[in-house]
Amino acid sequence: MKLENPPRKPFVARGSGVQRCDGCRLPIDVCICEYRRQIPACCEFWLLTHRYELYKPTNTGRLIVDSIANTRLFEWSRTEPTDALLDALQDGRYAPCLVFPAGTDYEHRMIKELPDDGRIPVFIILDGTWRQARRMFRHSRYLQHLPVIEPETDRLSRYQLRRSTIEEHLCTAEVAVALLEQVGDQLAAEHLEGYFERFNANYIASRRRWAKQER
């Protein structure tokens, strides 16, 4: 994973003592690194990741990094964005837009399609819990000039490791799949979705194994 910021603290939570693969962060016995392969897409993804997400094995943002070429990951800060992120936002080669549900108070920023002007289309995904993402969207002044796009999809989340109370709330990898489908890149969408489904299934299998061992 290409991280634009240095890490701040290790992951410490239930399951932190499990021996994990350094690549996919799954338990060694259900490692999926042999299936990891990047393919090009018609757009790029920049993940603006909450610092608490960086160390969670259940985070799905890294699945995008592992699957879609040129994906970049930045650690989010409310007041101190990194130079790497600011430079990327100002780079004239890119046409970045922020991925977030539509809202009346920023309706003037909403777009339906990415600009077709020769620049590289970029989706900036706020990678965190729904509560964290709302805070990131509202309190990051350096993002307020960006257009906002909402994924157009009827799919419900199939992510079973961390459940939202609202089925329409997709995890980060599922958002990227929906966006790839939206821009017509079905090959990249299917590639990422297949990797996500394998991650989801293998992680669930490992959890069931832990539960049996704890009885």
**155 compared with 121, residue with greater pLDDT:** 121
Mean pLDDT of the chain: 86
**Which residues have a Cβ under 8 Å from the Cβ of 133 and sit 6 or more positions away?**
50, 100, 126, 127
- pTM across the whole model: 0.85
Residues 150-174, mean pLDDT to the nearest whole number: 67
Give the torsion through C-alpha atoms of 54, 190, 208, 55, to 10 deg.
0
Find tokens 């991650």 and name the residue: 199
Strand partners, 124: 46, 98
